[in-house]
Structure 1
């Protein structure tokens, strides 16, 4: 049992929630690493209420030149990396974004940029849509609902209108239409306010709803919709704690555990790297400061990966109660539902 699986939340011990490892009945093992997800920092032009990174305009954390250089070395050194996934904060506004993009594309990796869309209208970043198109970046854009009221409540007044304009801009560049310009959207459910919890909506049906609404009202098209469960970390966890809902929510997620999701979990074939160069099994563990470990409890850094000459040093994925969020119902990942 990890420390995170044996602490008190909302005055209730998480021992009332079955430890995730016990639920599995075995270790959660790593597969060969093929995805490098890099969190470039926590600075962002938005401060969304559901943000698990707790990013915002006042955050200053971002990648250093030294770690940026190491990451570029990793990208060139390991052909097994197929995808470089850039996140933040707003990755487009953080140090290292363009150098890492260009190194990864030069090394023939697919590059994903996780965008809030509104960054395109900030001073100094108006070139980003054309830059993404030039380098054929896959854009995964946050649009937690196709209705304005829900989006603005979660992300701030005016965000919906700017997001719509950004999507129309991307469509004009060929995104969502040309095979090499992929535009995917991300749905997040509203944060629970009562114990009337529900699983994330069916991804296939919701994608149809999004496409119909956005096409009819704004002539917008996109490729795929990803439904992502709100995990009880970051600002979502703070909200749940204030409402005394954190433990009940964890127990709800546990009650909907689906063992069929395990083989598809994103933590199994990816490494998540923070702006300091520390290595985690996934972005969620990164935000909860639960580092990836070798045998003997040794933690990893990008520098150690380079020294070892291998990305496949981790045998077992570190787990915590919030892992039930990725395994409830149809599952959840940075690429949407797992089943």
Structure 2
């Protein structure tokens, strides 16, 4: 093996852990409804876009609704995509979760509200007190448009103002969170997400002063090297070095906060994973006997708690580097 390969060799993530990740009682059901989206963001790990047609089928949607009704241990139903609002079964899943007293999170790109078929969504979300987690990777137009497409920042601002008018960010029952992602690197000067609480203060000041926008929380999320991010890094010949950078920033204090402990991630085909990243990379969750799992099998077994160990991969370093990263933002506020 060459000196360069030895230098960039990645330590298997599992070797960094002092104990295996033993699955806890499932509380969160995250559902990826499909890859249909009105945007094609450069950092999208799902590789969603306007040309994608993959989405939830009526059969799988029915199975997931049965799952939501059958298991009161589920506290949160987290809907993502693509643009989840554009994919089959969206409102059916929202209303099943509401009917069973679960918190509903919708991961929205904001611009979808300006599609004719989605124009009533802000009022719909307010009616059902849906928590909105909205992508706004920066507070400056040039940065956002570069990552997500021309004009996206302007549409996002209009959407946020619309949500504010409905009470989001003001009414304690109408939670509006924003998501920050770093720009993709152009060279080996890699960076992690800034300290979340400090960046949140900048966001709140600038958005309020410039656009009269208020929101609840900022969630900082690291670019995980999968999907379009991985393709970009490979094209720039940065992929292995970026992984090595993430490994070098491994922070054991983040492990206890990882989202995969008590979450199931379900794809539009009904397959089950520990997290959305494993879903993209087709690394399925497994039972103790090593068999993979589907929603139908969870129903047949009358249990959500059939997974023993959480699967791991090299890209898990993205969730545990620096402040840590999850669908709920940073995992450790102590790292600057």
Normalising by the smaller structure, the TM-score range is over 0.9
Q: Where in structure 2 are the equivalents of 1:1-339 lying within 5 Å?
A: 16-339=9-332
**1:12–1:247 CA contact under 8 A, matched in 2:** no
Q: Provide the C-alpha distance between the structure 1 equivalents of 2:66 and 2:191, rounded to a whole number of angstroms.
A: 44
C-alpha offsets along residues 99-145 of structure 1, whole Å, 9 cap, x if unaligned? 00001001000000000000000121101101111111000000000
The CA deviation at 1:21 is 0.6
Runs of 4+ in 1 over 2 A off after TM superposition: 11-15
Q: Helix, strand or coil for the counterpart of 1:239?
A: helix
Q: Helix, strand or coil for the counterpart of 2:117?
A: coil
The CA deviation at 1:27 is 1.5
1:181/1:66 Cα in 2 relative to 1: closer, same or farther (>3 Å)? same
C-alpha offsets along residues 142-184 of structure 1, whole Å, 9 cap, x if unaligned? 0000000000000000000000000000000000000110000
C-alpha offsets along residues 286-321 of structure 1, whole Å, 9 cap, x if unaligned? 000100011232000000101111111101001000
Q: Helix, strand or coil for the counterpart of 1:89?
A: coil
The CA deviation at 1:14 is 11
Q: Provide the C-alpha distance between the structure 1 equivalents of 2:232 and 2:115, rounded to a whole number of angstroms.
A: 29
Give the TM-score taking structure 1 as reference length. 0.95
**1:14–1:247 CA contact under 8 A, matched in 2:** no
Q: Provide the C-alpha distance between the structure 2 equivalents of 1:270 and 1:12, rounded to a whole number of angstroms.
A: 36
Paired residue total: 329
The CA deviation at 1:199 is 1.6
1:245/1:271 Cα in 2 relative to 1: closer, same or farther (>3 Å)? same
Give the TM-score taking structure 2 as reference length. 0.96
1:70/1:54 Cα in 2 relative to 1: closer, same or farther (>3 Å)? same
RMSD: 1.2
Q: Provide the C-alpha distance between the structure 1 equivalents of 2:264 and 2:222, rounded to a whole number of angstroms.
A: 20
Gaps of 5+ in 1: 1-10
Q: Helix, strand or coil for the counterpart of 1:57?
A: coil
Q: Provide the C-alpha distance between the structure 1 equivalents of 2:187 and 2:310, rounded to a whole number of angstroms.
A: 32
**2:274–2:311 CA contact under 8 A, matched in 1:** yes
**1:258–1:327 CA contact under 8 A, matched in 2:** yes
C-alpha offsets along residues 29-69 of structure 1, whole Å, 9 cap, x if unaligned? 11111000000000000000000000000000000011111
1:13/1:240 Cα in 2 relative to 1: closer, same or farther (>3 Å)? farther
